[in-house]
Structure 1
Amino acid sequence: MSISWAESYVGQLRAIAGNRTLMFVGARAVVRDNVGRILLIQRSDNGQWAMPAGAMELGESIADCAVREVREETGLRALRVSAFALYTGPDRTHTNMYGHTYQIFTTAFRIEEWDGELARVTDETLDAGFFDRTRLPGPLSASVPETLADLDVFEQTNRLILK
């Protein structure tokens, strides 16, 4: 069950803080099918193709956030997850299309096991699908190529990526 943005922790905090820059803690998920294609969603807010992702809510862990976001945005159930990258620096400060500025702290997760049927359209998505890495759809979120490159490094070195 998803909640509205206004009911979310970030939405409630934004209502109190006004235009101040806020810290945004969230998770991003790399989901692959059995032939290595990448799951991307087309976001309903900006039309970009991205990985399932979103903000952590009070009372949940960052891993639980990744699992919830995958479920809300794709209908799939993430059964095993592992973190491979942290994106935390001041260079991660971003102003969104609503004029809200956040310094984003994102944990990227590899979804190691999942089940269920892909829901191509949800409250948060216009479309979803698995794509070959050499033929990703556009417009593509800038986070996708960076995250995939970092996953490659992680899988070669088994060292957490810190940015």
Structure 2
Amino acid sequence: MASISWADSYLGQLRSLAGSRTLMFVGARCVLRDATDQVLLIQRSDNGHWALPAGAMELGESIADCAAREVFEETGLRAAGVTPFALHTNPDYTFTNMYADTYQLFVTCFLVDGFSGDLLRVTDETTDAGFFPPQALPRPLAPTVSETLADLAAFEHSGQLVLK
């Protein structure tokens, strides 16, 4: 799984054509837990926030493939499998990033069903990574982390996909 540049990515190419229009961002967000139920977070190189591994789907891949690719690109770990537990699609999930680009998100949240490899703390997209107890997450924390972990807890309690 080779990492591609933003300019070469589907969203990068689409952004160059669409200018400042709001774009639909289809992506995956992943929760990895170790044997002690600690959660893997990455520190993003673009804004310094601690976040769950996540990113945009590319043309020619499934959303599950996207999840596995993003986990590998941002952590060096290989996902054994992924289970979807939430869909975040509401127009309230529209945001403008630090580059003044606006996106409406359609994000599938996945629980990673086992993983292998050695954790890379620094990658092209991260400045640090590690497993943390859910009650003691590092700061600054991306706002999506708490909501995603709450959705996972709801899914594990009910067995029902969380739709937002």
- TM-score, scaled to structure 2: 0.99
> Which residue pairs with 1:145 in the alignment?
146
Distance 1:131 1:96 in 2: 26
* Aligned equivalents of 1:113, 1:73: Cα separation in 2: 16
Amino acid at match of 1:150: D
Q: Unaligned stretches of 5+ in structure 1?
A: none
Partner of 2:46: 45
User: SS at 1:144's partner residue?
Assistant: helix
Matched with 2:114 is 113
Q: Which position in structure 2 is the counterpart of 1:92? A: 93
| Structure 1 residue 112, shift from structure 2 partner | 1.1
Counterpart code for 1:152? A
Distance in 1, Cα, partners of 2:66 & 2:139 = 26
Q: Distance in 2 between matches of 1:121 and 1:136?
A: 18
Q: What is the aligned partner in structure 2 of residue 15 from structure 1?
A: 16
The secondary structure found in structure 2 opposite 1:35 is: coil
Q: Report the alpha carbon displacement of residue 76 of structure 1 after superposing the two structures with TM.
A: 0.2
What's the C-alpha RMSD, in Å, of the aligned pairs?
Answer: 0.4
Q: TM-score, normalised by structure 1?
A: 0.99
1:22 positional shift: 0.3
- What is the distance in 2 between the residues matched to 1:90 and 1:76? 32
- Aligned partner of 2:55 in structure 1 is 54
How much has 1:113 moved relative to structure 2? 1.1
SS in 2 for 1:71: helix
The share of aligned pairs that are identical, in percent, is 66
Shift of 1:18: 0.1
Question: Which residue matches 1:136?
Answer: 137
